Structure 1
């Protein structure tokens, strides 16, 4: 009877250790990472040299360039590597031949869609 108790005690300890200890890393194993992306769209504006796309986290005052110098033939752009479950704002700005910004779409809100990438 004592042997049976020792055996089950041993099994319980092994099961606890298997659930508590971290899984060992296997070198070369692939694992997914998750990030957000969003494709923003705008209406083509005539007589534009190019567009500038700015974005920021909602609540932040720091606008960042997503892309500077978007060709005037494009009307959509995908912004990658955004934080998930965070609200963002973007702004499309037109630029004339002299480099002057002269029109803005106004800030528009979005939350990124999930994107998965497998890395090593």
Structure 2
């Protein structure tokens, strides 16, 4: 699974919380965090659409977006990548790191723990 960039992750988080959203609605949610222009939001959405990270539809004459990437699996890939590349940890990250998150509920936390525990061993780690 491709790991989204930080800005792409911000957009995905907005869409996981509520969807569908128009580009303007997405921009209004991510602008305080990212501090960028509306045109940057549109450009990032276009790239994400090309990658298959988001889906686009027209509803009531307005183009709206939905996340195409599943939340828990994407977060598990992101956490695994962080643990391996940044922290140089070869074992599963402890799920306790994610308790108290406003992004996932208890059922999703359990699913995340299982995904991190069962993550396939990388071929380059051997």
TM-score bucket (shorter structure): under 0.3
Larger radius of gyration: 1
Structure of higher RCO (CA pairs closer than 8 Å, 6+ residues apart): 1
Q: Compute the TM-score of the two structures, normalised by the length of structure 2.
A: 0.23
Whichever structure has more helix as a proportion of its residues is 2
